Amino acid sequence: MLNGATSQVAKLFYGHKGRLIDKWGHYLDIYDRHFNHFRKTGRAVRLLEIGVYHGGSLQLWRQYFGPEALIFGIDIDPRCGEIADPDICIRVGSQADPEFLKGVVREMGGVDIVIDDGSHIASHQRKSLEILLPLLDPCGVYVAEDLHTSYFRGCCEGGFGRHGTFIEEVKVLIDGIHETYHGKKTPFSNVRQSVDSVHVYDSLVVIEKKPPQRPFHTKVGTPSFQRD
């Protein structure tokens, strides 16, 4: 298997014969790590991918999640709306348009997985996260791809340490998760209790939600010595 990828996603990807897909090889096992449990729940997963390209990745997710899954893609390119495939649903619009995003999620009846492989423009990524993270299922997963663009100046609106990039937003989200301990309000204060974990990989971030559980601290076992 190329790049050492051995997961089910990787096997489907490298065996794919359908529409064109463009993915970094090291993403494949990461997807499987965070998506595999959805295939064991016994219910149809609802997946939304931002950025349709030629539609191949939507076909990949159909193969991975099975015939009952609801697979939606959005793209600003009107040519994507002309892709004829009964197994996937494509809607044309901007990932930075709140009403469009909300409308697609309503049409889907909710969303379990969001994959942002869209424009890679910082303000667009930020707006999608702002709108979709609160709408994501309480046990949902949000993935942002190609985040090396957060360091690209110019059309991507990036730059090392530059305010407003997705990478910098993730740092704020991490602070938001720990708001109980520092007491400072962040832009993510409204969702901080629903975010269970943030996983940062090379150019990819996975945010996992989970119903809130109040942290507690306890002790077990026998002391080895008496503390002064």
pLDDT in tens, 18-63: 899 999 889 999 999 999 999 988 789 999 999 999 989 999 999 9
Token pair recorded at residue 109: 């009846």
Asked if residue 7 lies in contact with residue 35, where contact means CB atoms within 8 angstroms, the answer is no
Residues forming a β-bridge with 197: 208
Q: How far apart are CA 48 and CA 26, in angstroms?
A: 21
Please report, rounded to a whole number, the percentage of residues in the chain having pLDDT higher than 90: 64
For residue 89, list its beta bridge partners. 72
217 is known as an active-site residue: no
Residues 37, 120, 182, 217: which is the catalytic one? Answer: 120
Looking at 3.40.50.720, 3.40.50.150, 3.40.50.970, 3.40.50.300, the CATH number of the domain 2-209 comes to 3.40.50.150
Place of tokens 């990989």: 201
Given this model, what pLDDT does residue 77 score? 93
**How many other β-carbons are positioned within 10 Å of the β-carbon of residue 221?**
5
Q: How many whole angstroms from its chain centre is CA 130?
A: 12
